[in-house]
Structure formats: C-alpha cells, structure tokens
A and B are shown apart, each in its own frame.
Chain A
C-alpha cells in the first residue's frame, strides 16, 4: 500500500481500470468515425445519433420483440447499419467530390432531425434497460468492485477494435479499401465495385456506433440526447489520434479514458474539459494528430 499525491494506491488502481472501461466506449465510437473519415472523407456528425439508435433499437427489440441483450448485440448493428446504407445511397454519395464542410453540415442536420424526432416521441428522461442476467453481479478485486458487465465491455470492445484494425490494415479486403480512397478510378479499372465498397464501409462504421450504443444501454441512460453528449468528446479523441487513423483512434480512445479517469480523482471539476485541453496542446504541437499520416 503506497500513496500517490495523497491518493491511496487502491483508489488509483480502481480509477485506472474505470478509465480503461470508459476508454473502450471512446475507442469504439472514434474507430467508427475514423473508418468513415479515412475511407469516405466524410466527417460523420450523425455518429452520436446512430449510437443512440443502437441503444434504442436494443430497447425496442426487448420491449416489442422479446429479444434480449445478446440478440440486440447482433441485430441492432445490422439494422442501424442498413439505415446508414440508406443514408449513404440517398445523400452522402453526392457529396464525395465536394468540400468536407458539406458532408459535415448534412450529417449534422440529419443528427438534429433524428434526435428531435426521438425526443418528440419518447421524451427526454429516457427509457429503462437492464444489465443482461448472465453479466449481473461482479467480483471484488481487492482494490475495487468490478461489475462483470464492465469487464465484458472492456474485453469485447478491445476485440472489436483490434479485429477492425486487422481487417483494414492487414488483409486484402482492407488493402482494396485503402487503395479505393487513394485512387478510385484505378481500383475500378481492376474490376472492383468501388461505390458498393464505399457504401458498405459507411454501413460498417455506422454499425460500430450502434454496437457501442447497445453496449451502453445497460449502464448509461438511454435517452435521445445520449449521443449528443458524447459525440463532441469522441470528435476530440479522433482529432487527437489523427483524423482517419485507425490505430490512432483506438489507442487515443483508451488512453484518454484513463487520463479522464485520473482527472476525476485529482481534480473532478475539470474532468469534462481535460480532453479538450489535451486536444488544444496536440493541435499546437502536431496539427495532424498523434498518429496522423499527413504530419
């Protein structure tokens, strides 16, 4: 037992672990954003709303279909991902040749419409959703009580993040994707259907947001503005990691979760701002982000 700046080591370890857990949400969400930005060059401001849709879909599946958490974990990303594909086909594909700003404005507008519609029908105070019975309870680690569900969140999201990174950076499919962003005309000349690949990529990015939403449903308040609260932080994470960098998004997501967790012990009042302070410093020193390719 030792102390750091007057904080007992037990509390410190607890907070480190909690930071890691929160970081896994940041990582999952910023991963989706990074995939979409990296492949489509679209700044997807609808991401928060799609995260919220994931959580609401989980609620609907349980309420009206009797399908629990595990089904939701599979079905919600698929359903919300399909809605993302519809959005891409109807709106986004017209914007690829235009400035980033148009994509940002369009997706921001869509987010406002989706969140406003849900608020109108479901109000602002949110809906109940419980931890799945297999994962209730928890274990005493000596330095803190770790709920089983949180342990699941951190392991599962780490697995999803690394798989995604592997697919995009280390497989043939991923190399097509990366090539298609660099030079779509050439890749098309090889007989690859680039527009369809782009559409599916957006669908996948959106599905990641929905997956994070399902995972959040049992522990955060399921309400129409749940994504709006989180999206700004997640954007900061992506900017710090470097726009479009997959590994950057993952590492920064977990790392900032830990830093935020520690701030909550040493100076809780600043815990909401610490990420933005780091963002400002990173932008001053490395404008392309910590893992940005165009440094």
Chain B
C-alpha cells in the first residue's frame, strides 16, 4: 500500500511557471504508520514542505514537486518505492528514511541510478562508513555520535560502570558496541549486558538483572517503544531511586513526551537539535505546528528541513539535478547554513557535521510549558561529535 500525495505547493507555484527553469522532485520516504512515525512520518513531510516554501519564496526559478510514501519498515517495500520513484516518477532526491535497514537499501539504489539520498531518520553509522557512496549524505545523527556523546559524558561525571539492555538485532548490537568502546576508552567499565527481542512488552526480568549488576549506569541500546517501556518500568522498580541511572542511547523528544516528565526525569541523552533551544527553533516549530498541532518536532524532522534546504541551494546553483553525483559533490563543496542547524559542512564520506548536545530531562517542577523537557548539560563541538573521517573505512576517503 503506497500513499503518494502531491504537494499543493508546487501547483500554486505553477502560475510562475513561465520563468521556472530548474525542476526538482523530492520524495519523503518514511515510516508513516508504525513505531517511527512520530519521529519522522507526516512530521517530516511537513518539514519538507516548509523547506520548499522558504526556498522557493526567494528563488522563483526553481520549481519543486513533493511526494511521500510509507516504507512500512520493510527494506523490500522501501526499495520498490525508491525504484519506482527514480525510474518512473522522475524523483531526484529521497529524504528521511528512518530505519537503518531500509536506508542502507535505498542508499545503494540511489548510487545505481545516480540520484541523491539525504538520510535524516536512520541511525547506522555504516552509511558513512563501509557502506558510504557518492550519492548519499547522512544528515542529522548516527550511532557513533550517540554512543560517543552520551557514553563519554556520563563516564566523565562519575558514571563509570555500565550495564546494557540491548535490542537483539543489528542496530542494537552496533549501538552497544560503539557505546562500550566509548565507555572503556574514557576509563569506564562494562559489567554486563542482556539482549532482549525487539518489541518486548515487559522488561522487569531484564531490569532485575540490571539492578543486581550494581552498575551505576544502565545503557539502553534500544529504541522507540522498547526504550519507553524500559524507562517506565525502571521507574516502577525503583531503579533510579536506588541510585542507578538510565542512559538513553537513542531517545527522541517524542519519546520523552510519551513517557511524561515524572517518569523520564533525570534521563541523559544526546541530540543534535531541540525545538526549545533558541528563538529561531521556536519560531520554526510554531510554523511546523500549524500542520502538526499539539506535537513537537524531533531532530529527524528538523534534519529533513535542513537537508532539503541545502539540496535546493545546490540545485539552484547547478541549474540541473540530472546528475546525482554532481549534485552531491556541489552540496559537499558549499558550506551548509540554515535556520535550524546554523553553519556546518559535509565531509567527503557524506557525513554532515554540526554540534551535538548532551541534554538531561527536566523534572516536572522545572518544566515551565508544554514541550519544555530538556536542560542543556554540555555542547559537543562539531569537530568532536562525529567519528573521525579516517576511522570510518569509507572507500570514498581511502580510495
């Protein structure tokens, strides 16, 4: 089942069609109906629309079409949509794609068809590591950055013994491996781990094991509903009251809102964008909420805005996006600058570089208004936030 909706925006701009020279078609491929749909989903489509509206307001000679579809977290479904978009529907750019499995598949298709892929939703750092290519840019965050940000910072503040609750598939293993490495490199120790199946309802058994390990930090190498259930039940079993602390290795603002502050308070996590961080972000959030009322944007959705904006800048400069590789090369050559992520760069391996932030979830008493959830604990400068270029074993760099 494929849902494609053409943006009315493009139709509005058709009036100025006489002067439109550069035509661009963008596809938002996301999880529209399942566990990641609040992280990306319709909110990513709304973000892409804002990016297009903002850009075309000042660049009437670029005409942009927008489509979107649901990949259902299945690599085969995602691949067939990507093939259809590139081959039949003349889509030039695919954005978002939460779920690393789907993203790796789409990245390969973009390379084969010489189109462009800007990843905002997926986490796997392999996208700019062994699986990197000249058509893919990894925009918002990745597993290495999450592991490094949260892992290092917690060891520095005394959290030097760790126990992992790990989701038992490739993503969880990677996150656990990267975090354990970061912890040990900063002088910490890993006391144990337990691997649970994806979509586990009850974590009490695993929490008891974590509790009896006496580790100071319980690292959650899982995502979405699994993370929410771990933390919710951890509060019930008195984990945080007993002096142990949770480290959310992949927690989004939408998860914290779902948990509620009484349960989530004190949780440490790393993000690259927070809606309430400054006036610019707040103003953008207000516009975004016109379409997504009552919700708060995640860094993934902000990344879609930022990525689409930069792509359109490159398109305007090149006047054509027919050659995906050339477009990506242009994107890497131009410094990035937008309202949400500020100034940044894109590395040779396709990694977008910007600051990351270590946040702690506020207590209910500290929170002044809805969505006021984080206190900034540390800023990780762009140069340190992501995996060093040489360590990724990306063929584009070594070869």
Contact = CB atoms under 8 A, between A and B. Distances in A.
Contact of B238 (A11, A123, A124, A138): A138
Interface in A129-182: 129-131, 137-138, 144-145, 147, 149-150
A219 B197 CA distance: 19
B205 A219 contact: no
B295 interface: yes
Nearest to A128: B260
Interface stretch (B208-216, B306-314, B329-337): B208-216
A269 B35 CA distance: 21
Contacts of A38: none
A107 interface: no
Interface stretch (B57-65, B74-82, B128-136, B223-231): B223-231
Interface residues of B, number: 43
23 contacts: A18-B208, A19-B205, A22-B201, A22-B204, A124-B38, A125-B224, A125-B225, A126-B225, A145-B237, A149-B236, A219-B233, A221-B232, A223-B225, A225-B35, A225-B225, A264-B206, A265-B205, A268-B168, A268-B196, A268-B205, A271-B205, A272-B199, A273-B197
Given A149-B236, A268-B194, A268-B206, 4 more contacts: A124-B34, A128-B260, A265-B209, A268-B195
B200 A147 contact: no
A125 B208 contact: no
B229 A220 contact: yes
A183 interface: no
- In the complex, which of the residues A14, A125, A128 has the most CB atoms of chain B within 10 Å of its own CB atom? A125
B228 A125 contact: yes
Contacts of A125: 38-39, 224-225, 228, 254-255, 257-258
A230 interface: yes
Interface string A223-236: 10110011000000
Interface of A: 10-11, 14-15, 18-19, 21-22, 116, 119, 123-131, 137-138, 144-145, 147, 149-150, 218-221, 223, 225-226, 229-230, 261, 264-265, 268-269, 271-273
Interface in B272-311: 295
Contact of B201 (A123, A145, A147, A220): A220
A119 B70 CA distance: 14
Contacts of B197: 268-269, 271-273
Nearest to B197: A272
Nearest to B168: A269
B199 A261 contact: no
Contacts of B255: 125
Nearest to A271: B197
Contacts of B36: 124
Nearest to A273: B197
B345 interface: no
A127 B255 CA distance: 9
Given A14-B208, A15-B205, A144-B208, A229 B236 contact: no
A28 to B, nearest CB: 14
B323 to A, nearest CB: 37
Given A128-B260, A147-B238, A220 B200 contact: no
Contacts of B41: 124
- In the complex, which of the residues A123, A223, A225 has the most CB atoms of chain B within 10 Å of its own CB atom? A123
B37 interface: yes
A268 B165 CA distance: 11
Contacts of B199: 229, 272
A227 to B, nearest CB: 11
A229 B260 CA distance: 22
Nearest to B233: A219
Contacts of A273: 197
A21 B205 CA distance: 11
Interface string B237-264: 1100010000000000011011110110
A144 B258 CA distance: 28
- Smallest CB-CB A-B distances: 5 pairs: A128-B260, A264-B205, A272-B197, A125-B258, A126-B258
Contacts of B224: 124-125
Contacts of A119: 33, 37
A220 B238 contact: no
A10 B375 CA distance: 39
Nearest to B254: A125
B236 A123 contact: no
A220 B33 contact: no
B205 A123 contact: no
A230 to B, nearest CB: 6
B366 interface: no
B200 A271 contact: yes
B152 to A, nearest CB: 27
- In the complex, which of the residues B195, B204, B224, B295 has the most CB atoms of chain A within 10 Å of its own CB atom? B204
Contact of B200 (A19, A223, A272): A272
B5 to A, nearest CB: 14
Interface in B135-192: 168
A19 B205 CA distance: 8
A271 to B, nearest CB: 6
Contacts of A116: 33
Nearest to A137: B238
B87 interface: no
A215 B9 CA distance: 46
B201 A269 contact: no
A128 B204 CA distance: 19
Contacts of A147: 236-238
A221 B225 contact: yes
A268 B195 CA distance: 6
B225 A123 contact: no
A293 B141 CA distance: 57
